[in-house]
């Protein structure tokens, strides 16, 4: 373990962690949200321009209507405000069809990670702006016989909040059910989520599943890994968040 791994400027916080808050899409699940947004464009814009990088930057982590408008604005669609609601509705219908078709999976490293945290006795909350998150997690089954949603002692997915990420409201709500925010870390795959964690004075763990480690670092992530297998579980047992030693 190196000083860089512990990120010395925030060592006191990173060495006193007691609870975890995890995002769903992109952290726990390979879900079809991005695909549904792309396929729901229906000619409003060139679907090839709806890239993973654009989705992560402009849409991921935002409530549905806010995400719809952000996507259309990023794509330069005229009158994005008026088009956002029907676009969001089409996206939801497409998402439901993809879920029903089985286009969803849990990331194996994430399933191992949450089960390891549970074995350590850590309180865990799940926090996503998506109202589909709970239903998707219930479809994922663990070795213990539980479904993924059962692992979490607190669940604030799909809550109606006045602002989406990077506002920290959803993470602060999750933390209220556990401990003080400064004793929590948040696992996120989107820059907006990392910014929300930092705004809430929580440690931020970036999960770079799209070769986007640089953008997560720039958003303020304390630790960034490509896989949650890269987090040192023995250090978490001592309330420290850091990478596995090279």
Closest CA to 188 of 143, 126, 131: 126
* pLDDT of the residue at 177: 76
Nearest to 30 by CA among 99, 124, 89, 97: 99
Q: Using one digit for the tens of pLDDT, what is the confidence trace for 15-25? A: 789 999 999 99
Residue 35: how many CA atoms within 13 Å on its side-chain side? 13
Q: Are 209 and 26 in contact (CB under 8 A)?
A: yes
pLDDT at position 179, please?
Answer: 82
pLDDT digits (tens, 9 = 90+) for 170-221: 999 999 877 889 999 999 999 999 999 999 999 999 999 998 999 999 999 9
Domain 3-30+105-236, what fold?
Rossmann fold (3.40.50)
The per-residue pLDDT for 13 is 58
The ranges of the chain annotated as CATH 1.10.150 are 33-100
Say yes or no to pLDDT of 1 above 90: no
* pLDDT tens per residue across span 97-138: 999 999 999 999 999 999 999 999 999 999 998 999 999 999
Percent of the chain whose predicted confidence (pLDDT) is above 90 = 83
Band (pLDDT 50/70/90 cuts) for residue 8 is very low
The domain defined by 33-100 folds into DNA polymerase; domain 1 (1.10.150)
pLDDT tens across 189-201, in order?
A: 999 999 999 999 9
pLDDT tens for 82-102 read 999 999 999 999 999 999 999
Q: In the chain, which segments carry CATH 3.40.50.1000?
A: 3-30+105-236
Q: Which of 165, 238, 152, 156 is nearest to 195 (CA)?
A: 165
Mean pLDDT over all residues of the chain?
91
pTM listed for this prediction: 0.89
More confident residue, 48 or 14: 48
Cα angle, residue 152 at apex, residues 147 and 154 outer, rounded to 5°: 135
Residue 211 zone, left/alpha/beta (φ > 0; ψ -120 to 50; rest): left
pLDDT at 23: 97
Q: Are 23 and 205 in contact (CB under 8 A)?
A: no
Does residue 4 carry a pLDDT above 60? no
How many CB atoms are closer than 10 A to CB 107? 19
Residue 11 has pLDDT above 50, yes or no: no
């Amino acid at each position: 373990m190196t000083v860089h791994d512990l990120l010395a400027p925030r060592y006191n916080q990173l060495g006193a962690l007691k609870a975890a808050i995890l995002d769903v899409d992109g952290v726990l699940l390979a879900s079809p949200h991005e695909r549904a947004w792309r396929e729901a464009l229906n000619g409003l814009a060139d679907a090839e321009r709806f890239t993973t990088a654009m989705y992560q930057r402009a849409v991921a982590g935002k409530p549905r209507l806010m995400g719809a408008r952000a996507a259309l604005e990023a794509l330069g669609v005229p009158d994005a405000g008026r088009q956002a609601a029907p676009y969001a509705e089409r996206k939801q219908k497409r998402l439901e069809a993809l879920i029903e078709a089985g286009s969803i999976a849990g990331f194996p490293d994430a399933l191992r990670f949450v089960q390891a945290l549970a074995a350590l006795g850590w309180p865990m909350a799940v926090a996503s702006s998506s109202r589909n998150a709970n239903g998707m997690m219930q479809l994922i089954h663990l070795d213990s016989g539980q479904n993924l949603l059962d692992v979490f002692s607190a669940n604030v997915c799909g809550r109606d909040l006045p602002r989406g990420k990077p506002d920290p409201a959803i993470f602060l709500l999750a933390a209220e059910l556990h401990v003080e925010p400064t004793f929590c870390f948040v696992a996120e795959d989107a820059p907006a989520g990392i910014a929300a964690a930092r705004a809430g004075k929580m440690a931020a763990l970036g999960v770079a599943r799209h070769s986007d480690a640089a953008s997560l670092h720039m958003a303020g992530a304390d630790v960034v890994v490509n896989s949650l297998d890269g987090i040192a579980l023995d250090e978490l047992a001592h309330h420290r968040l850091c990478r596995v030693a090279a």
